Structure 1
Amino acid sequence: MKQQEPISSIQLSMLFLFFMTGSSVVIVPAPLTNIAGNGAWLSLLIASAMGMLLLTAILYLNRLAPELSLVEQGRSVLGKGLTFLVLIPFACVLLWNISGVVIEIGIFFKNTMMKETPTYAVSTLFFIMIGLTAMAGIEVIARMAAVFMFLMFGCIVLILILVSSLYHPQYLLPIMPDGIGPILNASYVVYGFPFSEMVVFSVILSYVRKDENSQLRKHMYVALVINSLTLIASVISSIMVLGPLSGDLKYSLYQLARLISFQEVIERIESVIGITLIVGFYFKASILLIILIKMLKELLGLKNERLVVFPVAFICLMLSLTTYTKESQLDEFVKVTWPLLNSLAYTLPVLLILVVTVIRYHSNRSKEQ
C-alpha cells in the first residue's frame, strides 16, 4: 500500500454508495419482507432516517477536524491509551465484518450460480482479490468505482424495468396487517445492516482533498438518499412481482432476473446480472479491508502497512470458513445480534469521541472570547 494521494469528495461518495448498496441490495429485500410483509418499505424509511442521523454525526466530527482520521481525532481528545482501548473493539468487529461479507458471497454462489463449487474455493479467491486491491490503495479502488458503479446500478435499473410487465400493484396491500411491531423489528434489522455500518467511513474521511471538504457533506447525503431509494425500489418491486413469496425467496433481485423474458430474445440473464451484483460484494469487502488496515496502522504505529495486508486477509478467511457453518446461524446473528454489536463497537466510540471533541471545541472557543 503506497503513500496515498487525496481523493475527491465525489470519489469518496461513490465508494460510500458502493459500500452501502453493494451487498445490501441483494440480501436485504427478502429478510426485510419476511419480517415486515408489505410494510417493509416503511421499515426502510425508518432505518434511513436513523442512517441520516449517524451520517450527520460523523460528518460533523469530520468538519471539526477534517485533516484528522478517527484514530487521530480520538488521540487528540482522549489520549493515546484510552483511544486504543475504545477503538480495539472497533477493529475486531471490522475483522468479522469483512469475513461476514465474504461468507455472504460464498452463500450467494452456493445457492444460485455455482452450487457444486466448495465455499472455501470462492472465499479464497475473493480474499486474494480483496488483498491485492487493498495493496493498491484507496486511489485505485476510487477510480474503479466510477466505472463499476454505472455497471451495477445500470443492471439494477435494467432488472426493475424488464420485469415491470409482471408487476401486480395489488400485492402491496395491506401495508400493516399485523400492526407496527413487525415494521419496527424489520427497521432494527436493516439499521444493523447496512445503515449502522456507515460509521466505519469516519476512518477515511480525512482522505478527501481539503478544498473539497465543503462539498463532501452534500455528496454523502446524496449518496445515502440514492442508496435508500434503491433499496426501497428493490423491496417494492419484489413484493409486486413475487407477492407472498417475496419474503421466502432469498436474493430477491436475482430471483426477479430469472423471471425476465422479453420477446424470447432477452431470457435467462440472471447469471450476467448475478456476476454484476457480485461486484458490489467485492467493493464492500475491499473498502472494509482498506479501512481496517488504516486503523491498524494508526493504532499500532506501523511504518509499512503493506506487511499486514495479507496476514489480516488470511485471518478474515479463516473466520469466514469457521465462524458460521450453518446458514441459519448467520441469519439469526444478522437479525438479532449484529445491530446491537454495531451500536456498541462502531457507533458508541464515534459518538464518545464526537461528544468530547464538541465539549473541548466549545470550551476553547469560550476561552478565546
Structure 2
Amino acid sequence: MKKQETINSWQTASLFLAFMTGSAIINIPAPLTGAAKNGAWLSLLIANGIGFLLLACVLYLHRQYPGLTFIDYSRKTLGSWLTVVIAVPFLSTVFLMLSNIVLDIGGFFTSTMMKETPLYVFNSLILMTAALTARAGIEVMARMFTLLLYIMVTLVFAVLLFVLPYYRPEHLLPVFPKGIKPILHGAYMAWGFPYAELILFSMILPFTSKERKSPLVKFMFLAHLVNGVSLVTVIVCTIMAIGPLAGEIKYSVFQLARLINVQEIIERIESVIGFTLIAGSYMKATIVLFILNLALSQLLKLQDDRLLIFPVALVSLLLSLTMFKNEAEFVENVTVVWPLLITTVGVLPVLLITVVTLFKKNRK
C-alpha cells in the first residue's frame, strides 16, 4: 500500500477508541438494558471479552502483513477473485453502517433538541462535515479526534459525577431477574455493536508509522479495555439513577444530564452534552467514511484514493433517508439483524484469512 500519511501508535489507539466509543456511549445503554435488564453490564463484559480475541486476530494479521490493508492481504492470501467475492458484501455492509450512524445522529436531533427540523438537514450537514474531514486525511483526523475524544469523555464522566445524589445501588439487584438467556441476548447485541465492527480497523492499522519498539499492540488493547470500562460505567450508572426505566429511555447520558441541578447554578446542561455526544458519532461516521472510500479505491485500483469520498457520502445520505419506514424498523435492524450481518460478511472473512495465514506459516 502506498502511504503518504502516517500516524503514531498513540494516535491510532485514540482513533480506535473514538470509533468504538463514539456512538456506542449514546446508544448502547437503553437497548442493552432493555434486553438484559440489570445484567446488561455482564452482557457488555462478555462481548468485550470476545472482542479482545477478535482484536488479537486483526493485530496478528497486521504483524504478518505489514503495510497492507484487509483488501491487500486478502488478495495475497485468497487471490483476486475470492477477494472480490468477500469484499462486495463487506463494502455493502459498511455502506449500511455509515448510513445507520448518520441516521442515528439525525434521529437524536429530531427527537430531543430540534424536533421541528427535517431529518435530511442534519444528515446532510453531518455527511458533508464527515466528507470534508475524511478528505483532509488521516493525520488531520488523528489530531482533531484525539482532542474531541478527551473533551467527550471528560464531559460524560462529569455528568455521571454530578448525578451522584440520584444513584440507588439497590436498583442493580437482582442481576439475573429472568435467568441467563437475557444476558446472552444482550451479549449478542453488544457483540454486533460495537465489538464486531473493530474489524474495520484492519484498513487503518497500515497507516501507523513504523517505530523501532512499536507500542501499538499495547495501546490498542488498552483502548479496548478503556472502551469496556467506560461503557460498563455508563450502563451501571444509568441503571442506578433511572432504575427499571433504564431500558425504556433512549440516549441515557443525555437524559441523565437533565437531572443535574446544583444550587440552581449548574442546570440545563443537556444541550452541551448533546452536542458532545454528537461529536462522538461524527468521529465514527468520518472514520467509517474514510475506510469505505479507501477500500473501494483499493478494490477498483484507483490512482486517486480520495476520488470517491463525496460520491460515497451522497449515496450514504440517500440510503439514510430511504432505508427505513419508521424507527421500529431501524431498531430491529441494529439489534437483531446487524450482529448476524457484520459477523457473516466481516468477522468470518477475517477469521478465514487468519486460519489460512497460520496454516501457511506452519507449512513453511
Same fold (TM over 0.5): yes
Q: Pairwise mapping of residues 260-339 of structure 1 onto structure 2 (< 5 A)?
A: 260-339=260-339
Deviation at 1:335, TM superposition (A): 1.3
Contact 1:4 1:137 in 2 (8 A): no
Partner Cα distance (1:21, 1:212) in 2 = 29
Contact 2:46 2:187 in 1 (8 A): yes
Q: Pairwise mapping of residues 100-111 of structure 1 onto structure 2 (< 5 A)?
A: 100-111=100-111
Partner Cα distance (2:109, 2:288) in 1 = 21
Counterpart residue number, 2:360:
360
1:189 aligns with 2:215: no
Contact 2:26 2:253 in 1 (8 A): yes
Paired amino acid for 2:147: V
**Shift in CA distance, 4/325, structure 1 to aligned 2, threshold 3 Å:** farther
Partner Cα distance (1:212, 1:40) in 2 = 41
Runs of 4+ in 1 over 2 A off after TM superposition: none
Identity %: 48
Counterpart residue number, 1:208:
208
Q: Extract unaligned runs of 5+ from structure 1.
A: 365-369
Contact 2:131 2:309 in 1 (8 A): yes
Q: Secondary structure at the match of 2:113?
A: coil
**CA-to-partner distance for each residue in 1:132-181, whole Å, 9 max, x for gaps?**
11111111100102211110001111011000111111111111111001
Counterpart residue number, 1:148:
148
Contact 1:41 1:235 in 2 (8 A): yes
Deviation at 1:54, TM superposition (A): 0.7
68-77 vs 243-252, which moves further: 68-77
Q: Extract unaligned runs of 5+ from structure 2.
A: none
Contact 1:135 1:309 in 2 (8 A): yes
1:341 aligns with 2:341: yes
Partner Cα distance (1:9, 1:172) in 2 = 38
**Shift in CA distance, 112/212, structure 1 to aligned 2, threshold 3 Å:** farther
Counterpart residue number, 1:38:
38
Deviation at 1:307, TM superposition (A): 2.2
Counterpart residue number, 1:367:
none
Partner Cα distance (1:212, 1:134) in 2 = 29
Deviation at 1:321, TM superposition (A): 0.3
Aligned length, in residue pairs: 363
Deviation at 1:3, TM superposition (A): 6.2
**Shift in CA distance, 73/300, structure 1 to aligned 2, threshold 3 Å:** same
Q: Secondary structure at the match of 1:190?
A: helix
Partner Cα distance (1:31, 1:175) in 2 = 17
Q: Pairwise mapping of residues 39-78 of structure 1 onto structure 2 (< 5 A)?
A: 39-78=39-78
Deviation at 1:189, TM superposition (A): 0.5
**CA-to-partner distance for each residue in 1:313-351, whole Å, 9 max, x for gaps?**
100000000001311101111111100000011101111
